[in-house]
Structure 1
Amino acid sequence: MAFVAAILPAVLLADLAHAQSGKPGVEKLYVLNCGEGVAGDISRWSPGVNEGKSMDFVDNCYLIKHSQGWFLWDTGIPDAVAAMPNGLAPADPKAVTWHRPKTLAAQLDQLGVKPSDIKAMAISHTHPDHIGNVEMFPNAMLYVQKSEYEWPGANNAPRFKPEHPVTELEGDRDIFGDGSLTILSTPGHTPGHQSLLVKLPHTGPVILTGDAVHFKSNWENRGVPVNNFSKDLTLASMQKISDTLTKEKAQLWINHDKAQRDTLKMSPEFYD
């Protein structure tokens, strides 16, 4: 018995060490269809280029299974738009008319994930095509830059319900403390825009752009949309993303780029 008692602490320590040195981190990433639309004139996103040219847009959300729980990046166009036969038309005809061919709720249900299973979430920024379903997850911790959270909405209204749990960030944040999921502060499109670096065990590192860039030629030309909050901050954030891509040897996944999205595996398939 004395021998057993003597080895028990060593066994417990070994188990703890194994748990800590196991394989924490991102296990799966699902690309969800969170909207499809048509932009009336894409030169608004890249001034001087593609004047008067229309383009198909997509809107992605990303569901991430981490060893510590489910994490959702962006929530897309409101699910209610799925019931609108003509879609959601913008006030500006040059902008995007959005449709919702699949609801976020249905795609989560297909994966057997309930909204209450989402313990944490983040939005790239507070434009309507990215926060349309935030309140489907009223108890999920919301990670957002402080400058974005405090940015007044229409008629100075708050952009989120004040009772929604929130963590206000001031810069980059390693969400789970293991380097596998890092929010990158990339202001410019809006005051507190952010992007996401995801390190997948087999696929490798991926940067999800939010709206730091809108489509491939926009990225290549370093085009700054006319309605962005700050041109200088936008260009600095594009450079930060470029530097991170080089450092991490990462892929760049551009949120609204349909040509690229059409090459990706969509949920229920996943990346690991």
Structure 2
Amino acid sequence: MIRTSALVAVLLSAVVSVAPGQAQSAKPGVEKLYILNCGEGVAGDISRWTPGVNEGKSMDFVDTCYLIKHAQGWFLWDTGIPDAVAAMPNGLPPADPKAVYWRRPKTLAAQLDQLGVKPSDVKAMAVSHTHPDHIGNVEMFPTAMLYVQKAEYEWPGANNAPRFKPEHPVTKLDGDRDVFGDGSITILSTPGHTPGHQSLLIKLPKTGALVLSGDAVHFKSNWDNRGVPVNNFSKEQTLASMQKIADTLTKENAQLWINHDKAQRDGLKMSPEFYD
């Protein structure tokens, strides 16, 4: 009997110790990530992003959105330039000639359709911040739960107008958020560019960990030199957020994908190809 009891105890111990690990490894999270073309443009004077450097120098910019297939549903990060710009023969000229002159070569709607994804299939979404080149198509997804920092949501827009339609479902965040509760998609609070700017940490099964920058940084030299754009909300917060991203990259052995960096994006696979 003693031997039998001991054997049972050992077996039970093995089940208890192994089961959680098995459940975790079998638990699906992010399955695929698609990179979508959400705008292309030319910055008239990039010194606004690199104070004291590159005066009068122009640079090609891109605007990128990411569609993520998670076991619990589709998740969209950023929505880019409004699709309506695609119908404008001359694109969308900026009020400030130093800013970015945007064009929309492909609509977001057409890229989703190519993947067989309807806007109503997107159950959750988040935007890095509320500048027009990131929220241009939010209302294409009127029922998707929107994750946004409370500080960004309540930041007054032009003429104190709200930044989103009040009826759009929203989850207001105050810091980081594990979206699906499994560690595969984590919103990182990275204020500075705007009061409630956020970035995204994604863990893919084969590709590994990625951090999507939003506008915490605009292009690689900007990142390498810790350049803070003159129009940012807070220089101090921007630098702290860059450090937070750097620490996350080290901790997670992650790649940094910089939203507006054309050279980097041109080396990545665009939808309908994907990362898994």
Aligned partner of 2:226 among 217, 222, 228: 222
Return the alpha-carbon distance in structure 2 between the equivalents of residues 101 and 28 of structure 1: 24
Mapped partners of 2:237, 2:125: distance in 1: 24
Q: Which of 236, 244, 251 is residue 247 of structure 1 equivalent to? A: 251
1:130 is aligned to 2:134: yes
Match of 2:68 among 64, 67, 80: 64
Give me the whole-angstrom Cα distance separating, in 1, the residues matched to 2:150 and 2:191: 11
Deviation at 1:24, TM superposition (A): 1.7
- Report the counterpart of residue 46 of structure 2 in structure 1: 42
2:107 aligns to what? 103
Moved over 3 A (4+): 16-21
Which residue is equivalent to 1:144?
A: 148
Structure 2's unaligned 5+ residue stretches are 1-19
Match among 163, 169, 172 for residue 167 of structure 2: 163
Post-superposition Cα deviations, 1:235-258, rounded to whole Å, max 9, x if no partner, equal 000000000000100000000000
Map Cα deviations across residues 160-202 of structure 1 (whole Å, 9 max, x no partner): 0000000000000000000000000000000000000000000
Q: What pairs with 1:153-192 in structure 2 (closer than 5 Å)?
A: 153-192=157-196
Query: What residue in structure 1 maps to residue 55 of structure 2?
Result: 51
Which whole-Å CA distance do the structure 1 matches of 2:137 and 2:211 have between them? 22
Code of the residue aligned with 1:44 in structure 2: it is: R
User: 2 CA distance for matches of 1:260 and 1:76?
Assistant: 18
Question: Given the two structures, how large is their TM-score scaled by the length of structure 2?
Answer: 0.92
Report SS of the residue matched to 2:26.
coil
The answer to whether structure 1 residue 24 and structure 2 residue 31 are counterparts is no
- Alpha-carbon distance, 1:20 to partner: 6.5
Q: Note the alpha carbon deviations across 1:75-101, whole angstroms, 9 max, x for none.
A: 000000000111101111000000000
Distance 2:253 2:110 in 1: 34
TM-score (norm 1): 0.93
Alpha carbons of 1:111 and 1:236: their partners in 2 closer, same or farther (altered >3 Å)? Answer: same
| Structure 2 counterpart of 1:199, one-letter code | K
What's the offset of the Cα at 1:23? 3.1
CA displacement at 1:17 relative to structure 2: 10
Question: Which amino acid letter does the alignment assign opposite residue 77 of structure 2?
Answer: W
Give the Cα–Cα distance (whole angstroms) in 2 for the partners of residues 20 and 212 of structure 1. Answer: 32
Aligned residue pairs total 258
**2:244 is equivalent to residue 208 of structure 1:** no
Q: Tell me the C-alpha RMSD between the 2 structures.
A: 1.4
* Structure 1 counterpart of 2:200: 196
